Amino acid sequence: MKASQRRHAILVSAAPIFNRHGFAGTSIAEILAATELEKGGLYNHFASKEELALETFEYAFGEVQAYFSRELSAVTSGYARLVAFIDAFERYVERPVVDGGCPLANAALEADDALPFLRERVREAFQTLRDAVAHNVGRAIAKGEFAAATDREALTDMLVAALEGALLLARALRSRSHVQRVARSLRAMLAERRV
């Protein structure tokens, strides 16, 4: 197996572990068991646990982006894309592309103060998510689907915060019903805003 293929295989194996247990909760022994490598073999590809965690997050977030890209590929921007995003988010909770849930939400909880090496990348990833939602809110306003006076930034923050918050509720309370209720409420709220 080529080095790049082995590196990718390590990321695929490590992503669910980091995603379920976090950086602090994941041991190198777990990674070695999952990848069937010796410590030297792992460190031949990654200089440190921090580098492995960062690249694993990059891989996992890339998988999530690819999922949403596929789910939304046939939907035009604006109102329809916002509704499709909510629908895709709800489906994602049922069948995450990386075991352990949303890597963005999981990493954000842990990286805030404890993991400065990961904090900036998580911030950038959240900004990417927020920018995509803001673009479609802006398109809905520009297309006359929402009133011109709609506060784009406030609506964007509300959509992102509601979905990510519902995800945290679902995880903490072990029930997907929280995401389903929030998704239903968001779809109804967007429908009421339509001009």
Least Cα distance to 150 among 107, 111, 185, 192 occurs for 192
Identify whether 21 is part of a domain.
no
Instruction: Give the model's pLDDT for residue 1.
Output: 64
pLDDT in tens, the chain (195 residues): 687 899 999 999 999 999 999 888 999 999 999 999 999 889 999 999 999 999 999 999 999 999 999 999 999 989 999 999 999 999 998 899 999 888 998 888 887 677 788 889 999 999 999 999 999 999 999 999 999 999 999 999 999 999 999 988 988 898 889 999 999 999 999 999 999
Identify whether 90 is part of a domain.
yes
Identify whether 169 is part of a domain.
yes
Which domain, by its residues, includes 88?
Answer: 48-193
CA 34 → CA 55, 84, 95, distances in Å?
A: 16, 35, 21
Helices first, then strands: H and E counts in the chain: 9, 0
Structural domain count of the chain: 1
Question: Tokens 């995450």 — which residue?
Answer: 96
Instruction: Give the model's pLDDT for residue 151.
Output: 98
Identify whether 27 is part of a domain.
no
Q: CATH number for the domain including 98?
A: 1.10.357.10
Identify whether 32 is part of a domain.
no
Side chain identity, residue 105: A
Per DSSP, what are the bridge partners of residue 99? none
Phi, psi angles (nearest 5°) of residue 74: -95, 5
Identify whether 70 is part of a domain.
yes
Identify whether 42 is part of a domain.
no
Identify whether 163 is part of a domain.
yes
pTM metric for this prediction: 0.90
Residue ranges of E strands in 3-114? none
